[in-house]
Amino acid sequence: MTLSRNQFKKEMKPLAKKLLEYIKSEGQNYGVTDAKIVCKVNSEKDTELLNGGFIVSSGQSVSIGIRLFAGKRSLSFSVNTPDEKALKNKIDDNFKIIGFAPETESNTLADPDVVFQGKPPSLKLYDDTEPTADQIHDYLTKMDQSARAVSGIKTTQMTRFSEEKSHQLVMDSRGVDLLYSKSSFVPVIAAVAEDKSGRQSDYEYAQTRFFDDLPEAEEIGLKAADSAMMKLSAETPKTGSMPVVFSRDASAVIYKALFSGLDAAGVIEGTSPFKDKLGQQVANDNITIVDAPNVKKGLGSQPVDSTGQRAKKIEFIKNGVLQEFAMSAAEAKKLDKAPIARNDGLTNTSILPGKMSVEDLISDIDEGIYVDAHQGGTVDIVKDSFSKPASGRWIRNGKITDEPVDGFIMAGKLSEMFMNAKLANDTPSHPNTKTAFACPTTRIDGLKIAGA
């Protein structure tokens, strides 16, 4: 399916070294002082169950990314071949134009004294085995049959198994020498339910680094079927306001909106409402957001970022107080702050669990909505607005019922939602089989509901 880690290293490391040496020797005539090489190989394979048969598609991509530095100027380009001659020709072309690139203070590599030296910890992010065709076919068949076995399910769609394996080598002229290998296995299925009210569909998926860590296929199929059945004969709530409880999956939209305010790009541009809020309260004091890069088998794990800095756990928000912005190395320089080793973005993020069980969180709600899913709409941290069409179930007398609700829009001010959020104690741990952004069940009182 793909080059092995050793094969990739054997082919790409000598190439990267030769390119760095070439840039050093030939680039001085054009004022080139530093360079960075990123070699990537990515392989994908999809197997789909369709009309009783299996359709397989696969592909592999190669990319050699190069960034040249000449003082405060830089140029980036990539070539989709490891051919040394073609790469050197492209480098020569960019030597000739780098003098026209704009000068920017942040156009530099990491200082050598902050570059991690040594072997990064083994976090088990790469499964060097490959499931056989029979194993994949068996998984898809079981997933499909379990969904179809549920009464009321008419058909299934998108019964698919995706495999992805990638290798990445990062080397630069200041000592960065990193090799990453990652794998991913993703089964997904959509089930279609039908009754006298019409048809509804829903899907379920899982994602793991290792094939053997996937949940049972029947579990995924049943969840998709149950979710689709739950949407049938849904009631549209009346327009008004009421408590809304977001499932763990659905609540991610709240915390990702909160996190968007921490994004350094908005801070630099002056558009983020949190630009002057470091050390101040920006959310309810029961909200703490942690990013942990060193989780074994984590979907977002990255022990060393692409600038060569060793990544450590960060509390971005602690007890509702903003502790740090989310920023790349270049953004950190613009903000005159020390880099935080998140040049490639977040890793394994968790909103730490609250103190109440889900049962206690909803026990005093006479009537409310438990949101399973939402789609479309707008979430804008700059405009402080939240508006999302959603679906879910009624909460009555402190219990989540099996009575579906749909066809309504939730709306509110994000700033108020952040301050009013109440958290359950059910944040999934990392690694999990769904996401690198783990959230708890969350209650927001007084959201506006636009319905019937």
Rounded distance, CA 443 to CA 184, Å?
Answer: 32
Q: What is the mean pLDDT of each run of 10 residues along the chain (452 residues)?
A: 85 97 96 96 97 95 96 94 97 97 84 84 93 97 98 95 96 93 97 94 97 98 96 95 97 97 96 97 98 98 94 97 96 93 96 98 98 94 97 97 95 97 98 96 97 84
* Single-letter amino acid, residue 346: L
CB 206 within 8 A of CB 435: no
Reference 47, options 209, 162, 206; nearest CA is 162
The first and second tokens of residue 268, run together, are: 């630099």
Tell me which residue has tokens 């680039």: 27
58, 62, 112, 178, 329 from 307: Cα distances, Å? 31, 21, 10, 10, 8
The first and second tokens of residue 168, run together, are: 């990445």
Q: What is the pTM of this model?
A: 0.93
First vs last C-alpha separation in the chain: 52
Q: Is domain 5-131+157-189 given the CATH code 3.30.2290.10 in the classification?
A: yes
Which residues face 178 on adjacent strands? 170
* Single-letter amino acid, residue 58: S
DSSP helix/strand/coil, 248: coil
- Domain locations along the chain: 5-131+157-189, 234-452
Rounded distance, CA 22 to CA 309, Å?
Answer: 25
Per-residue pLDDT at 1: 52
DSSP helix/strand/coil, 147: helix
The first and second tokens of residue 124, run together, are: 């088990």
Per-residue pLDDT at 107: 73
Per-residue pLDDT at 115: 87
The burial class, CB within 10 Å (0-12 / 13-18 / 19+), for 10 is exposed
Backbone angles phi, psi at 166, to 5 degrees: -145, 150
Tell me which residue has tokens 């741990």: 429
- Helices vs strands, H then E, count in the chain: 9, 18
